[in-house]
């Protein structure tokens, strides 16, 4: 089964940040062992939330970013801006994480956050942003079926 209890990030969870700004990760998403495989990477999503990648996805991201040529000035600048806000972390023994101030500000996270599993990664939203997005973006069943079909689901 690997180091993760389920190997996937699914579901929606609402958690409060504690007094020290820590956020608890759902127990089914936490690594089973305390090792180098417990390192996550949080990055700003252009849509105003935080995307969190587990170790196996970090390796893929690293491979893709290493393909950006040093001569690709625009690509290098985009990576530099993106990674300046990024934050790597591990869960503590209680399954809590700390995001850096830049990511908290980017996602407008106050006291309450919503964690949304995206199968191979998860997203962290402020409760207000998540609720607003959900209210305005309900996908009708026909559109949803067309998207699933496009991906062979």
- Structural domains of the chain, with CATH: 12-55+85-150 (3.40.1550.20)
**Beta strand pairing status for 49-53 and 122-126?**
antiparallel
Supply the pLDDT for residue 31: 76
pLDDT tens digits in sequence order for the chain, 153 residues long: 344 454 689 999 999 999 888 999 998 888 766 555 678 999 999 999 999 998 888 888 889 998 999 999 999 999 999 899 999 998 888 889 989 999 999 999 999 999 999 999 999 999 999 998 888 877 778 888 888 888 888
DSSP state of 36: G
What is the pLDDT, as a whole number, of residue 138?
72
**Residue 45: which of 120, 125, 111, 116 has the closest Cα?**
125
The CA distance from 4 to 33, in Å, is: 8
């Amino acid at each position: 089964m690997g180091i993760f209890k389920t190997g996937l990030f699914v579901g929606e969870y609402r958690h409060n940040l504690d007094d020290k700004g820590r956020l608890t990760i759902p127990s089914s998403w936490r690594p089973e062992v305390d090792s180098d495989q417990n390192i996550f990477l949080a990055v700003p999503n252009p849509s105003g939330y935080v995307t969190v990648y587990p170790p196996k996805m970090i390796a893929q991201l690293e491979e893709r970013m290493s393909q950006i040529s040093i001569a690709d000035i625009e690509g290098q600048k985009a990576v530099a801006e993106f990674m300046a806000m990024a934050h790597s972390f591990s869960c503590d023994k209680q399954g809590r994480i700390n995001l850096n101030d830049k990511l908290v500000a980017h996602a407008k996270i106050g006291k309450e956050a919503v964690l949304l599993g995206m199968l191979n990664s998860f997203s962290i939203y402020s409760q207000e942003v998540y609720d607003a997005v959900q209210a305005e973006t309900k996908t009708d069943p026909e559109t949803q079926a067309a998207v699933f079909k496009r991906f062979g689901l």
